[in-house]
Amino acid sequence: MTMELIQAVLGWSIVINMGILLWWFLFICFAQDWVYALHSKFYGISRVSFNHIHYAGILAYKLVVFTFFIVPYLALRIVN
């Protein structure tokens, strides 16, 4: 595999992952009541637990995206 191919794969992975992160964030911001109603029906969780789970999930997902996609992409761009 060439450096250009790896950069392209990482670049598109960043776009897709940031899209997923944005979609998740927008649902939590603008449709929180609907998402909470859906999750509480299945899991019976409180509003506080719902908020903690989703904000911790968003944080963990963001850390994974930065660690495994954005930082290697930037490192390859600097080296190349």
Span 24-74, pLDDT tens digits:
999 999 999 999 999 999 999 999 999 999 999 999 999 999 999 999 999
Residue 46 located in a structural domain? yes
Residue 9 located in a structural domain? no
Residue 7 located in a structural domain? no
In this predicted structure, the answer to whether residue 79 has a pLDDT above a threshold of 90 is yes
Residue 5 located in a structural domain? no
Q: Which domain holds residue 64?
A: 14-79
Residue 18 token pair: 């940031």
Q: What contacts 7, CB < 8 A, 6 or more positions away?
A: 73, 76, 77, 80
Please give the pLDDT value at position 69: 98
Residue with tokens 């979609």: 23
Residue 3 located in a structural domain? no
Span 5-19, pLDDT tens digits:
999 999 999 999 999
Residue 74 located in a structural domain? yes
Please give the pLDDT value at position 1: 84
Total domains in the chain come to 1
